[in-house]
Amino acid sequence: MNKVQLGSSDLRVTPICLGTMTFGEQVDEATAHAILDRSLERGVNFLDAAEMYSVPARAETFGATEAIIGNWFANRPGARDKMVLATKVAGPARGMDWIRQGSPDLTAQDIVQACNDSLKRLRTDVIDLYQIHWPARNVPAFGMVYFDPAKDRPVSSIHQQLEALTGLVKAGKVRAIGLSNETPYGVHEFVRLADQHGLAKVATVQNPFCLVNRTVENGLDETMHRLGVSLLAYSPLGFGLLTGKYDCSGTSGADAPEAARIAKYESVRKQRWGRPEALAAARRYNALAREHGLSPTQLALAFCYAKWQVASTIIGVTSVAQLDENIDAWGTELSPELLAAIDAIRWELRDPAQ
């Protein structure tokens, strides 16, 4: 895998990134360290975390993922220097009262304190890519479809947040900055203000992108392309829908795979990935994969890996075997006929996991 540059930053990463939100909930520390070891062995140099992880989010596991990664760095001399490390500061609490006492805002002070706390848990002196996990302002995200201006509330401005992030870069605590779950407006405003005020420019946006959610292609891709911002695609397997594991059983009930995320956690079933329409669409794509001699996982990942919009695809796994399967899908080529069939399904079913 050739490394790719993230935006206009000096970060160069593999086009596969190891996501870690399962560490500390579905994955214990020993297994997490084995996954990290294998990922490094396979040549993946990009690692993504967040202060709110693991997922599903609970007060008891807040920061657990970062702590597990920090312990891995401490126990593997030299490993930190081989990795590009990304993590995130959570936006407004969204009902999680253990995050900054449930604050409905994300202030400059919050960003600085969260970064310092992450540095301690990660046991490192610098975060290579520091991202705002979701916007402080009112936006349609995490399954919401429509923007509602009536929900606007006073929050810290993009300019104030950008100044705080720039301060962290100047202090040497952060090398580059990014966004997540952002809109075209948000990306453009962060870039515009950076240019206007001489502040740090965002290098990346981390948004969902997979066969059942291609909303990035509804305008965000043009914004990012023209502004020189790289896409980090998360949930390329649609929280497991696109692996085929739910095709026969559905996502709930006695026959559903009990250890799998959507089946195991009711909170996940209530989100966009648990919609019946998302499962119905996934079944169509999974059947298409099998018709063409591919596993559903191969099709879903190859689709993301080959997309011009995607700089790096974030894979989340619960075992070394899953990690190997996901990395092995690299290089799978999809024929023009197969890509046309994918687009035909999307034209019919659109983006049910938006």
Active site residues: 53
How far apart (Å, rounded) are the C-alpha atoms in residues 112 and 177? 13
Q: Is there a contact between 131 and 86 (Cβ–Cβ < 8 Å)?
A: yes
What does the buried/exposed string (b/e) look like for 24-55 if buried means 16 or more CB atoms within 10 Å of the residue's CB? bbbbeeebbbbbbebbbebebbbbbbbbbbbb
Q: Is there a contact between 61 and 91 (Cβ–Cβ < 8 Å)?
A: no
Length, in residues, of the chain: 354
Start-end of H helices in the chain: 29-41, 64-75, 79-82, 108-122, 158-170, 184-197, 220-227, 261-264, 266-269, 276-291, 296-306, 320-328, 336-349
Cis peptide bond upstream of 296, omega within 30: no
Torsion angle of the four alpha carbons 244, 249, 253, 256, in this order, in degrees rounded to the nearest 10:
-40
92: left (phi over 0), alpha (psi -120 to 50) or beta: beta
